[in-house]
Chains A and B, each alone.
Chain A
Amino acid sequence: MYLTYRGACMPETTGLVQSLVRKYGARRENILPILQDIVEKNHYLTEKSMRELAKALDISAAEVYGTASFYSFLDTQPRGENVIRICKTITCYMKGKDDIIKAIEERLNIKLGETTSDGKFSFLAANCIGWCHEGPAMLINNKVYTKLTPKKVVQIINEYYDNGR
């Protein structure tokens, strides 16, 4: 479904996992905040980070993987620096999300589900993000952009490149 993106370089995780486990506590109920923080930093969960976390919590890597893979935002596949999630639910569709998708695909030269070769952007779809009255809407990492038009979305992407984000 998407090109396997190897990543410009594998993110360093050992110190990160250890420090997060210390921060939140080595207990199963803290697994989600820890995974969320790893994704916040590295944009996805590497095999290594999941193994390390498993060791720290005294559970198997499969358990970490099984839990993480349930959540759409805890990617276990490599992602770029900036993850675009365009809302594909009905009202955003009605407001023209297909045109936005086309515009993004053209600007970034990738298809929905893929990552740019420079590792800058991953382009995914998400379900209702709570901006139905201002659609089409999308998230880029934790930032939300609404009332999108094909022109506006290209502008937004250009800004990311210009500002070196």
Chain B
Amino acid sequence: MVIDRKEKVKRLQDLQKKVDQIFRDVDYRPILDKMQTMSPEEIIQSITDSGLRGRGGAGFPTGLKWKYAAAEKSDVKYVICNADEGEPGTFKDRQILEKEAKKVFTGMTLCARAIGARHGFIYLRGEYNYLKAELLERLERFHQALKERQIDFKIQFRSGSGAYVCGEETALIESMEGRRGEPRNKPPYPITDGYMGKPTVVNNVETLVYCTMIIELGHEKFKALGTKDSAGAKVFSVSGDADVEGIYELELGMTIQEFVDLFGDGDTKAVQVGGSSGHCVPRKLFDSTIIGFEGVPTGGSMMLFNSTRSMYHVLHNYLDFFAEESCGQCTPCRVGCQQLLKGIEAIKKREREPEYLEELKKLARNMKISAKCGLGQSVANPFLSITENFREEIIF
């Protein structure tokens, strides 16, 4: 279906209006007041009933995370907002922070009340340093509002310094503790043994804002959107060969075909759902693939490629990214990423036979179950989806 751009923009506006939660002009202070009438258990119940799952990409049920952290016995607990958005194609947290910072702070305060924390941190990636001054100003006013309500919660900023892997929650905590951002062995999980050994909840920026919305509007409003497995709405960042690029808050559960109809330039060959560590969906699977936890999940990144793009080049770019950003501690990831990258180069240059691709796929499948953290485990996603669906482009 070829739809002209104007029509696309209108349709998008309609779809966004249906959701319209995060970017509304809403005063956060009544939400703080409402929060104070609720017990921690009530807050957690509301989040749980909404079906909200982490919006950073991993998709852990938020209510459950808060419930476990609340159950931990400790006089010191932490709430950390993961603003280390580094997945290629993702830029929605930047926008959320630019436009709706106070909703993020409110979300953190909700979490603090739910689990019993008095300290919060926002780990902001170094590439977004230019946001800091403005955010600090807004934070100061927010702290004022907390003080007025005698809410004992203080938020501090911490900056990243150019390391994608610090988006992984234990690597983030390591970084905050003044060390290399190397993911830890799990268990123990951050909810039992997190920052400085204390129970810690790490939540994505968007997740926290949705928590704020759920408390403001009630969990039914959130649950009414999306699907059974992928409740609610999501903020997507769309880029690449698209007629319309940018940030859009839409329901989860769309098929890729519907998505491409809205965003594509009419010649979409593939959609990368979930960034470099996500799945590359080819045209023939657009209809049958759902954007959500029951299909292909995403932290928000949606990149579109048209028929002029070389999928070899795309895969090469991803693998180079991983080989550079891997923390380097575990064998499958550190060496595996290099083997996959050099492997496809070797096949292209005919230094290896095309059959070698099967060896590489085996390697990728093994990495998926052997690597120490999500980064190494996810490399198989783009590798297998691209080599299986675009085999000729890789080999020839």
Establish whether A and B are touching in the complex (CB under 8 Å).
yes
B127 at the interface (CB under 8 A from A): yes
| Residues A133 and B178 in contact, CB atoms below 8 Å apart | no
| Residues B245 and A90 in contact, CB atoms below 8 Å apart | no
B126 at the interface (CB under 8 A from A): yes
Among candidates B179, B239, B324, residue contacting A132 with C-beta atoms closer than 8 Å: B239
| Residues A90 and B317 in contact, CB atoms below 8 Å apart | yes
| Residues B303 and A132 in contact, CB atoms below 8 Å apart | yes
Q: Which residues of A contact B240 (CB under 8 A)?
A: 90-91, 94, 132
| Residues A90 and B303 in contact, CB atoms below 8 Å apart | yes
| Residues A66 and B161 in contact, CB atoms below 8 Å apart | no
Q: Which residues of B contact A132 (CB under 8 A)?
A: 88-91, 237, 239-240, 245, 301, 303
Closest residue of chain B to A39 (Cβ to Cβ) is B161
B309 at the interface (CB under 8 A from A): yes
| Residues A130 and B94 in contact, CB atoms below 8 Å apart | yes
Alpha-carbon separation in the docked complex, A72 to B180 (Å) = 12
A56 → chain B closest CB, angstroms:
13
Among candidates A27, A72, A94, A144, residue contacting B161 with C-beta atoms closer than 8 Å: A72
**Given A128-B86, A133-B239: A32 and B159 interface contact (C-beta under 8 Å):** yes
Instruction: Report A61-110 residues with CB < 8 Å from chain B CB.
Output: 66-67, 70-74, 88-91, 93-94
A5 at the interface (CB under 8 A from B): no
Residue interface mask A41-72, B partner, CB < 8 A = 1 = 00000000000000000000000001100111
**Given A33-B159, A67-B179, A130-B91: A94 and B241 interface contact (C-beta under 8 Å):** yes
Which A residues contact B (CB, under 8 angstroms)?
Answer: 27-33, 35-36, 39, 66-67, 70-74, 88-91, 93-94, 126-135, 139, 142-144
25 pairs across A/B with beta carbons < 8 Å? A32-B175, A33-B159, A70-B180, A71-B160, A71-B163, A71-B181, A73-B162, A74-B162, A90-B303, A90-B314, A91-B89, A127-B164, A127-B325, A128-B86, A128-B90, A129-B127, A130-B90, A130-B91, A130-B94, A131-B91, A132-B90, A132-B240, A139-B127, A142-B129, A143-B130
